[in-house]
Structure formats: structure tokens, C-alpha cells
Chains A and B, each alone.
Chain A
């Protein structure tokens, strides 16, 4: 898994490439928690290139959502691949997360 980070005026865009699973979720966890501790409370996670996620990965996303919601910030996801979207649906996370089809659409909410 690779993680890219792009800071714009509106928010921080995190891009995930490859598999987000039990072996590597802690990398994403550290990245997101560092951002949140540095008071970046507007985060967009672009999942366009993420082709696998396990419950460990979902846990990190949920943690980030909880923390940012408490800080009254905004945490959104975009560009989920079809099979990833299915996993989100099975887990019921589509009701919890704000998910947009494209990055452009997502950026409008900040």
C-alpha cells in the first residue's frame, strides 16, 4: 500500500493505492492521527486506487471519522471502486460515511 498526501487550501487529500489490510493499516492510522493531532480537521480520502480493504482498514477510517466529527471537522471519502463500495455496503458504512463518486464532487463540500 502506498499513501499520498496533498495539502490544498480546502483540505488534506489522502490517496490510498493498493491493499489496505491487517498488515499495513497502522501506516494509515499513524498518517491520519498525525494529521488530526496537527488540527487538520478537513480530510478527504481518495480511494480510486485502493483495490482491497479489510475490517482493520475500515476500523481506521471509522476512528478517523469519530475523531474528526468530535472536533467538528469533516471527513469524506471519494472514488470507491465497485467491490470496495460493496464491502462498505455490507458493513453498513455507507450510512455513516459521506462518500462521493469523484474527487471534484467531494471537494465541493469543504
Chain B
């Protein structure tokens, strides 16, 4: 049978499994440092961003203050100066205009007076100077359309008595631009009294701040913005936001965190807050803010959170790629290394595969190194050598064994061939013998032969040992018996003579237990001698059973000078002499129990009414049932001789009846009618008649249906013979095809379920069950079935 190796798959190979194992391990090992690095990086980034944003905020505010400081300082000084009566308005106005001209952010200044303060004729008087296209223009403000007394830049300083920054406004009719105004109240001291006379303003164009705010860049889309104390966006790079209320913008995109941050900013605090959305953008962002001193304004910087981590993400992406590529390279490398390491194993597998297929000369791969694989290869090499010599040995042994076995089988057939079989049974006697060898050649023997017309010699023996030597010894014994036994000479002398011959040349010290007898067929008298053999049984009718316990001497071949003695026994009618060997009593079952003498005796007693063949067959069946498939250890030999009732036979000469039948079913009636007549004449019970009728019908039908292939008429002979008052023998002869009904198996009639039962075997089953014995012979072109029925 070819050896099958499981099919090799790459995914089950060491290379794949190792590399997978390494890769997964490394991935797990590297995962945690990566996560920790990511977490700490993001914290560091946030801190850095906060610091940057705060610094940028403060820088910007400083710039604003640098610009605004002169704007606040100049009107303050001029205002104080105007309290001096010696300084004229014109002078002040001139200084202020000069300042406007040189200052980069201030583009206009106005000195607005209380009604009729400047001159009795003018309700409004407010000279205004402003920069336009690099030139300084002058205009007098104040009219019914432009009532500056109602403007914040005039009202608030007068009301509060201190300088004020206005909210951003578009000054129509004034500066005509979006502006903020720093407005300082002016007082005149008259008669020791300090009286409010007007305001001096400095207009700051928001476009200047716009430029500064626009220059602020933080991260990708981060931006700065300036918001007034009331929350109005003064300037920002996003034009849609300008002039809007920051609280409204916060409500649009943000939630609670945004509101907290914006409120804190409007309260004039500084800080760094996270926002959950602002204006149109709903994504989280950061806000850094601080107040612009005195103005009440605040400056803030907003940048989205994801931009803060942009670099980190980019880095992580890069790292992931690197990681992935490294893993692939690692896997590839591991596979290559493992393959390289397992290559010798693969070669070894191929070589051992060949060895497994029976090629013991398959070349094993050569290893130069001294590693484990080299050792394995060496071990295989040694195993291969041993296997080779073992198989060679085995082949030689097998050939030798086969030779011996064939010789043994020849010896067996010679031995079995020597045993007498076909036997012309003498009148009034019935004899049956069987030998079932344990091994091919055994040491048991039986024999029977006529010594003249009236004497029969029977013998049974068991040579110590088995096999060819025992068989040869047995043949010698049998030959000697046949040569020495002569009618008229006591059996003891025959035994003595055989013993002498056997002892002459017996280098192996073999011996045989032997029982021999000469039976006078007329008188039923038996002269017997038992040389150390099992005691024979006498089975009489009616379960009467006893043993012939006479000892005639030691087994043959033991002692040359042994004197043997013989005994006499006289058969009573129907008594059976049963000779056995110890193969029966020593038979073992699977629990190692012996069949034993008591069981043999009881078995024989139960079969007292059977004939010799029935008794022998039943004993062997009982023995098989007992041993339950345990191996037969010894030869089993039985010889049974029965003496029939001579007086009965003599008084009633053998009666026979012949019937010639055609192979047609209508002859069944013929059989039934004749059987009915015979039963009355020969006096057998009705039950038997029916059984015989049934059996004959089954056999006859069988012959009619199956024995002849042609359609021609054949003759079937049926003869009845009344053997004695209690035994009927029938003989059915046909010239059809050979058919031995004894070989037909009927087991399936009972073992199979109803649906599968074959009816065919049933007839033969009836035959075997209902008859006491059934024999089959093929003689010439004839099938002969001999049936015996006791009653």
C-alpha cells in the first residue's frame, strides 16, 4: 500500500507560521510605545501652541498699544494745555493737525465746541482736519444734518468727564470711513471755575489695524481679531465678521465652551480656552485672548484644533507607512530565513517519502554542518540501513517459511490421506471417526480395518508433541499396527510387539498413548489394550454411560521391556464405544476453562439415542460452542463404534422399498401415498410420517427445479430401508448437477429481518432439523442423499 503524506500547504509550513508569529509579536510590542508617544506628543504640542498663541497675542497687543499710545497722549497734553488761557485754540489746532499729518494711524482730528462757545454767532463750531491722499484737508463740521452734540464721541466724554474710545462707527459727513474715535474733554478755567468747553478727538482709521491684524498668521488658517468692549468686531481678516457682535457669532457655531471663552474675553480677562465651534466652523478650536489696555478692546487669536495636530498626524501617517513597510520586509525576511533553515528538512521529507514507498536506497541529503538537522539526517540514515537489512532478512525468512509451510501442507495431506474414510460397515455395526487437527500436521491418529471377515481392528492414539516429527511417529505406529495385528493373536501381544519396534530406534524419546482393540463382529466381544490412553466411554441406550477403566501398560515407545495386558469387553445391543483423545477434555474456552471429563461424560450421556455420526457431530458442535472461538490447541479425534441389536435384525430381516420417480412435481402425491402405506406396514408414528413427507418433498422439489438444465425426463430413485425397529434410512438418487445440500448455509433464514429473508434455505433447514443424520455423496454422475430417521 502506498504511504500517503498529508498534502503540504504553504500556510501550514514553518516559514509562514514563524513569520506570522514574529510579525504579530513585533506589532504588539511596538504598539504601546507608539500610543504613548502619540499621547505625549499631542500634550506637548498643545502646550507649545498655547505658549505661541499667548506670545503672539501679547506681541500684537503691544504693537497696538505702541500705535495707540501717541493717539491718547497727544490729545491729553493738548487738552491740559488748553486750560491755560494764554494758549489759543488755533495753536492747539495747528499742533493737532501736525500730529495727524505725521502719525500713521490717526487720520483726522476735530476740535468741537459747546454751542456759542467759540463765537456768539455759531451754534455749532467744530473745525475738522483729515488726511486724504497724503494731503491734509479741513472742513467745519456741525449743521442741522450733522448735529454732533448727539454723537457718542461728543456726548460720552462730556458726560463722563474723561477721555473715551468710541465704538467703531462709520462717520458720514465727517471722516466718511469706518473709524474709532478717541475723544478728550476740554475745559477752560474762567473766574477760577473749570468749565467744559468742548472735545478734542483723534480719529483712528480701522484700516490701519486691519493691516496689522491681517498680518497675523498662526498655523494654517489661524487668525487674529480685535473686538470692542461691547463685543463688536472692530477688525478681522474675515470681512463677514467685521462690525458683527461676537456673541452672535459664538452662538452660531459654538456651544457652552465657546460662550465661556467669549464672555471671559469680553470681561477684559486674558487666557487660553478651548472652543467647541465658532461662527460657521463647528469643529473644535482654541482661542487665545487679552485686553488692549484702556481702550476696553480685546484682541484674540483663533486656530482650529486639528491644525494644531496636523504635523503630528502627518508624522504618524509617515510612521505608519514606515511601520507597515518594515513589517512586510520583516515577514519576507523571516520567511526567507525560515525557508533557508527548513530546506534541508524538506529535502529530508522527500527522501523519507521515498523510503516510505519502499525505496531503501533513496539518497538522503548530505549536511556539512553538525546541527540538529544533520543529526536527524544521520538518524534517518541509520534507520534506512537497519530497515534495508531487516527487510532483506524478512524476505529470506518469508521464503523459508513459505517453503516449510508448503512441505507441511504436503505432510498434512499425506497424513490425512492415510486415515481410513470410506468404510464398508459390517452388518449390525456402525462406525464413524473424525480427526480435526490443531496445526497443519498433528500427532493424533485413528484407524480401523478388517482382520478377516469377522474381526475388526480399531485403534486411537495420541503422539506426544506435534508437527512433522509427531506425524511421522504416528505413521510408523499405524504401519506397525497394520503389520502386526492378526486375527486370533491377543491385542496385548500386538501392542508389545509394536512397543518393542518403536523403542528400538527412538532417539527423540517419543511415545504414543494408544488404545487398540480387536472386535469379534459376530459375538460383539472385544479384546482391547489401553497403553496409557484416555479411558474410552461406553454409551448405552437410555443415558447409561460408563468408562472402560482397564490399564494395559505404559504408552508405546517408553519402555522396551514393558509387558502389556489385554481385557475383554462384550457389547450389548445399541451400545456405543466412544474413543477420544485429550484434545477434547483439554479444550480451552476464552476464560481458560477446560472442557473436562465430567462435561464430556454428560454431553455423551445426553446423546445416547443418536447414531455414531450424530453423536460425533453433536460432540464437536458442543465443543465449538464451549470454546467460543478460542484457538484449538490440540488435535481432536473421535472414533465411535456401535453394536446394533442383532436379535431384532435377525428376527426381522432388513426391509426395503424402492420407488422410481420421474422429475415431475405430480410425483409428490405418489411419494405421499407410498409413504402412507409404508407407515402402516412398517409401523411408524404419524408425526414421523409428516416430517419424512415434508423432508422428501423439499428434497424432491429441489431436484425437480434445479438439478436438470435440459427439459428431458429423468429418473429419480427413492428407496426406504427399515434398519431396525427404530430406524429408517432413505436414499434419494438423481443424475442431475452436483449439489451438496450440506454445504448450503441456512444461517440467514433466522438472522435477517423479515424483509430480507430468503425462503430458499428453509427447505434444507427443515431437512437438517427433522432428520437424525443427513449424508451426501457424489458417485459417478449421481447425487446421493442418505437420510436417517430414528423413532
- Chain A residues near B (Cβ < 8 Å): 19, 21-23, 51-56, 58-59, 62, 65-66, 69, 83, 87, 90-92, 96
CB-CB < 8 A to A19: which residues of B?
672
CB-CB < 8 A to A23: which residues of B?
665-666, 668-669
Q: Is B698 positioned at the interface, with any CB of A under 8 Å from its CB?
A: yes
A62 & B757 in contact (Cβ 8 Å cutoff)? yes
Closest beta carbon of chain B to A9's beta carbon, Å = 29
Closest beta carbon of chain A to B539's beta carbon, Å = 26
Closest beta carbon of chain A to B641's beta carbon, Å = 31
- Chain B residues near A (Cβ < 8 Å): 665-666, 668-669, 672, 686-687, 690-691, 693-694, 697-698, 701, 749-750, 754-755, 757, 759, 762-763, 765-766, 769-770
Complex alpha-carbon distance, A91 and B665, angstroms: 23
A90 & B665 in contact (Cβ 8 Å cutoff)? no
Complex alpha-carbon distance, A27 and B761, angstroms: 23
Complex alpha-carbon distance, A89 and B614, angstroms: 22
Closest to A58 in B: B762
Closest to A51 in B: B690
B755 & A21 in contact (Cβ 8 Å cutoff)? no
Complex alpha-carbon distance, A52 and B690, angstroms: 7
A59 & B759 in contact (Cβ 8 Å cutoff)? yes
B690 & A55 in contact (Cβ 8 Å cutoff)? no
Known: A22-B665, A22-B668, A22-B697. A58 touches B749 (CB 8 A): no
B749 & A92 in contact (Cβ 8 Å cutoff)? yes
* 29 cross-chain CB contacts under 8 A: A22-B668, A23-B668, A23-B669, A52-B690, A52-B693, A52-B694, A53-B694, A54-B697, A54-B763, A55-B766, A56-B701, A58-B762, A59-B759, A59-B762, A62-B754, A62-B759, A65-B754, A66-B754, A66-B755, A83-B691, A87-B766, A90-B769, A90-B770, A91-B749, A91-B762, A91-B765, A91-B766, A92-B749, A96-B754
Complex alpha-carbon distance, A39 and B678, angstroms: 46
A58 & B669 in contact (Cβ 8 Å cutoff)? no
Most buried by A among B749, B766, B770: B766
CB-CB < 8 A to B755: which residues of A?
66
B754 & A69 in contact (Cβ 8 Å cutoff)? yes
A87 & B694 in contact (Cβ 8 Å cutoff)? yes
Closest beta carbon of chain B to A19's beta carbon, Å = 8
Complex alpha-carbon distance, A91 and B765, angstroms: 7
CB-CB < 8 A to A66: which residues of B?
754-755
Known A90-B765, A90-B766; 13 more pairs at CB < 8 Å:
A19-B672, A21-B668, A23-B666, A23-B668, A52-B690, A53-B694, A55-B762, A55-B763, A58-B759, A62-B759, A83-B686, A87-B766, A96-B754
Closest to A54 in B: B697
Complex alpha-carbon distance, A53 and B698, angstroms: 11
Closest to B761 in A: A55
Closest to A90 in B: B769
Complex alpha-carbon distance, A92 and B691, angstroms: 16
Known: A58-B759, A90-B770. A21 touches B754 (CB 8 A): no
Complex alpha-carbon distance, A83 and B701, angstroms: 21
Complex alpha-carbon distance, A96 and B750, angstroms: 10
CB-CB < 8 A to A21: which residues of B?
668, 697
Known: A66-B755, A90-B769. A54 touches B694 (CB 8 A): yes
CB-CB < 8 A to B698: which residues of A?
54-55
Closest beta carbon of chain A to B692's beta carbon, Å = 12
Identify the 4 closest CB pairs spanning chains A and B, nearest first.
Answer: A55-B763, A59-B759, A55-B762, A22-B701
Closest to A91 in B: B762
CB-CB < 8 A to B759: which residues of A?
55, 58-59, 62
CB-CB < 8 A to A87: which residues of B?
694, 766
Closest to B770 in A: A90
Complex alpha-carbon distance, A20 and B669, angstroms: 12
CB-CB < 8 A to A62: which residues of B?
754, 757, 759
CB-CB < 8 A to B665: which residues of A?
22-23
Complex alpha-carbon distance, A92 and B749, angstroms: 8
Closest to A95 in B: B750
B668 & A83 in contact (Cβ 8 Å cutoff)? no
CB-CB < 8 A to A53: which residues of B?
694
A83 & B762 in contact (Cβ 8 Å cutoff)? no
Complex alpha-carbon distance, A59 and B754, angstroms: 12
Complex alpha-carbon distance, A91 and B697, angstroms: 16
Complex alpha-carbon distance, A59 and B757, angstroms: 10
Complex alpha-carbon distance, A21 and B686, angstroms: 18
Complex alpha-carbon distance, A10 and B754, angstroms: 26
CB-CB < 8 A to A51: which residues of B?
690
CB-CB < 8 A to A83: which residues of B?
686-687, 690-691
Closest beta carbon of chain A to B672's beta carbon, Å = 8
Closest beta carbon of chain A to B683's beta carbon, Å = 18
Closest beta carbon of chain B to A20's beta carbon, Å = 11
Most buried by B among A23, A83, A96: A23
